[in-house]
């Protein structure tokens, strides 16, 4: 039996990246939001909700098409069709 977790957004999710430690992942969406999520423990059963620990609404003016986490986990870079790249300093999670 497959184990999985689910997160929904109002718009398509375009980009995702795991943190170097593997404890978190970041998502970029068509709704212009950047979401940092905690990786769930899938041992607890199927269909677990994914906990969003930080949501940056309207992070870009356009859809977010790429995200990446720095090796130190202190920065997240995001790129958008608004022709900007932004760096987010990650708060202590």
> Given CA atoms 28, 31, 36, 37 in this order, what sign does their dihedral have?
negative
10 dihedral zone (left: phi>0; alpha: psi -120 to 50; beta): alpha
**Distance of alpha carbon 61 from its chain centroid, rounded?**
17
3 pLDDT band (50/70/90 cuts)?
Answer: low
Q: pLDDT tens-digit profile of 39-92?
A: 877 676 666 778 899 999 999 999 999 999 999 999 999 999 999 999 999 998
Give the integer Cα–Cα distance in Å for 16 and 67. 6
What is the per-residue pLDDT for 45?
A: 66
36, 16 Cβ separation under 8 angstroms: no
Residues 6+ apart with CB under 8 A from 52: 7, 35, 36, 37
Region 4-21 average pLDDT: 86
Residue-range domain boundaries for the chain:
5-88
Residue 1 has pLDDT above 50, yes or no: no
Region 8-24 average pLDDT: 91
What is the per-residue pLDDT for 9?
A: 79
What is the per-residue pLDDT for 16?
A: 96
How many residues can be counted in the chain?
93
């Amino acid at each position: 039996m497959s184990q999985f977790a689910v997160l929904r957004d109002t718009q398509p999710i375009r980009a995702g990246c795991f943190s170097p430690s593997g404890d978190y992942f970041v998502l970029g969406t068509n709704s212009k939001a950047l979401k940092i999520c905690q990786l769930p423990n899938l041992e607890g059963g199927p269909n677990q909700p994914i906990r969003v620990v930080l949501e940056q609404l309207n992070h870009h003016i356009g859809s977010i098409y790429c995200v990446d986490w720095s090796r130190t986990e202190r920065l997240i870079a995001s790129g958008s069709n608004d022709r900007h790249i932004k760096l987010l300093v990650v708060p202590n999670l």
